[in-house]
Chain A
Amino acid sequence: MTETFYDVMRRQGITRRSFLKFCSLTAAAMGLSPAYAAKIADAMENKPRIPVLWLHGLECTCCSESFIRSAHPLAKDVILSMISLDYDDTIMAAAGEQAEAIVDEVIEKHKGNYILACEGNPGLDEGATGGMSCIIAGKPYTEQLRRAAKDAMAIISWGSCASWGCVQAAKPNPTGATPIHKVPDIGNAPIIKVPGCPPIAEVMTAVITYMLTFERLPSLDRQGRPKMFYSQRIHDKCYRRPHFDAGQFVEKWDDESARKGYCLYKMGCKGPTTYNACSTIRWNGGLSFPIQAGHPCIGCSEDGFWDKGSFYDRLTTIKQFGIEANADDIGIGAATVVGGAVAAHAAISALKRTQSKGDQE
């Protein structure tokens, strides 16, 4: 029989007291009532661990870096043991043939019962590199991904790469990098997007914990993101929001307003257009998040955030107009041209009218 989570934890020397603490903290993090702490504990004591295949495509490993730093009490020790992380080439001990054999074994043994966690995305054949930009065990990554996706219970798209495409899919996207849900023939397994570059560690662990505890996917929004973490904007829960409402803004780096911690809206903060939990859960064990550190949000969990112009401009750069322009530049330009045309037209009209009046006399 497969070990339960509780067995694993006890084996690793975690006391029952610490275990129960972890359960209640996880319940709180997911916005559940205290009664659910017992349910989580029950699930962990009785359910076998779900095998997880963690595949890496085109990416920077920042999702893994974030994940292993889940600083929730005990989480970094426990979460890795909660799931049966059978394959993760970045952190696994096995290598080469031995490692690759595990992928086949899991797919065969746990058909339809394992979670496929995707970090990064594949470069499709249509890209300039012909799908050869990411080779795993001598084959294009796309092949491994499709094979593992076919029999998965669910797919988790870790980070902005797997969810949206991120930097490698930014224009002109030479490798044909494509987010998981847009890969052709990916199969029918439900896909959960956990965007962010990287996603918040506690969000990653909580999504897995939720799936283990309730044996179902968390409730997702229309774009496939867990509602509990992506239903509000950074702006909605930002601690600098009162300065925004008051009209108090940082005008330039290091001015008096910056020292006073005013709103970073004018510095290009994407908080008002970014759905994520940074302003509530924060980073590094709830220590801080970009805005608290005095830097505007760059909107890293949003689709195509690399292609929206400078991180430090509030208005998006619109590249279709050849030169760097934003909505105001284009609008003021158009209004000036039309205004000028109107004035010229009025002048000609007046002239013509005077002429025709002259003719009538």
Chain B
Amino acid sequence: MATVTTKPHAEPAVYVYEAPVRIWHWVNALSITLLAVTGYFIGSPLPTMPGEASDHFVMGYIRFVHFAAGYVLAIGFAGRFYWALVGNSHAREIFFHNILRKSYWSGLWHEIKWYLFLEKEPKAYTGHNPLAIFFMHWMFVWAVTFMIFTGFALYGEGAGYDSWQYTLFSSWIIPLMGQSQDVHTWHHLVMWVIVVFVIIHVYVAVREDIMSRQSIISSMISGWRSFKDARPPEDKDVN
């Protein structure tokens, strides 16, 4: 078997993902999985149950898991946003980033070309690369925000007129989107947006872990970013 030989070099590691970010990432991943599965079965329920209604609570349990996971997602997301304000610069990236910076767009273009196999080598980044930031922000942050708002609007319908969920969310979101049925449809559609995001996210994380110039998956477990070569990363002086 052939072995790849590289020149001896220092491998600096940078502490990128602080503990709250890492914990949030995995809790969030679990709750999204639960939400997508239970949400699908709320829209298209399982085959009918035999016997007496009092012997079963299938939809009840499915909906309970959905609501509980929804609360975990929402509270986690709020905590994650708080951490974006008080945490390190990498915690801020997916929420706030300077889109007027030229290096963001040139980096984004470079990354697109790397994914189209037009570049021989990717650039190294301590945080997210610009393409990752783009997708994280537009396809994840906004989609999850949308799901939290519409989710609470739908929950408020069951919780009733006097509930804070109804007052804060249902009362204006339902008329804004048309009627309850429209809110359901949009909530359902954006679930699929997030499913598509997850497919891309998992694939890209694995691919980058193998093919990029820095660690990816292990960083979300340990928090440390290590590099496969000694050349400085692109975003060393930016953040």
Which A positions have Cβ atoms within 8 angstroms of B? 221-223, 227, 231-233, 236, 242-251, 257, 262, 265-266, 270, 272-275, 299, 302-305, 308, 314-316, 318, 327-328, 330-332, 334-335, 338-339, 342, 345-346, 348-349, 352-353, 356-357, 360-361
Which B positions have Cβ atoms within 8 angstroms of A? 2, 4, 40, 43-49, 53-60, 62, 115, 117, 120, 157-158, 160-161, 171-172, 175, 178-182, 184-185, 188-189, 191-192, 195-196, 199-200, 203, 207, 210-211
Contacts of B189 in A (CB 8 A): 318, 327, 330-331
User: Secondary structure of the A side of the interface?
Assistant: helix
User: Secondary structure of the B side of the interface?
Assistant: helix
Please give me the residue from chain B that is nearest to A348 by CB atom. Answer: B117
In contact, B199 and A249 (Cβ under 8 angstroms): no
In contact, B207 and A308 (Cβ under 8 angstroms): no
Taking a contact as CB atoms closer than 8 A, the residue among A232, A248, A315, A327 that contacts B48 in the complex is A248
In contact, B178 and A331 (Cβ under 8 angstroms): no
In contact, A342 and B60 (Cβ under 8 angstroms): no
How far is the CB of A22 from the nearest CB of chain B, in Å? 29
How far is the CB of A189 from the nearest CB of chain B, in Å? 21
- Top 10 A-B residue pairs of the complex, sorted by shortest distance between their CB atoms: A331-B192, A247-B58, A273-B180, A327-B188, A246-B56, A246-B53, A273-B181, A242-B53, A245-B60, A316-B185
CA distance A233 to B181 in the complex (A): 12
Contacts of B191 in A (CB 8 A): 327, 331
Q: Known A-B contacts: A342-B200, A348-B117. Give 14 more (CB < 8 A).
A: A232-B161, A236-B158, A244-B59, A248-B53, A274-B180, A316-B182, A327-B185, A328-B192, A331-B191, A332-B192, A338-B196, A345-B115, A349-B117, A357-B4
In contact, B44 and A314 (Cβ under 8 angstroms): yes
How far is the CB of B84 from the nearest CB of chain A, in Å? 28
Contacts of A299 in B (CB 8 A): 181
In contact, B195 and A245 (Cβ under 8 angstroms): no
In contact, A231 and B195 (Cβ under 8 angstroms): no
CA distance A272 to B188 in the complex (A): 15
In contact, A361 and B2 (Cβ under 8 angstroms): yes
In contact, B188 and A302 (Cβ under 8 angstroms): no
Taking a contact as CB atoms closer than 8 A, the residue among B44, B48, B184, B196 that contacts A316 in the complex is B184
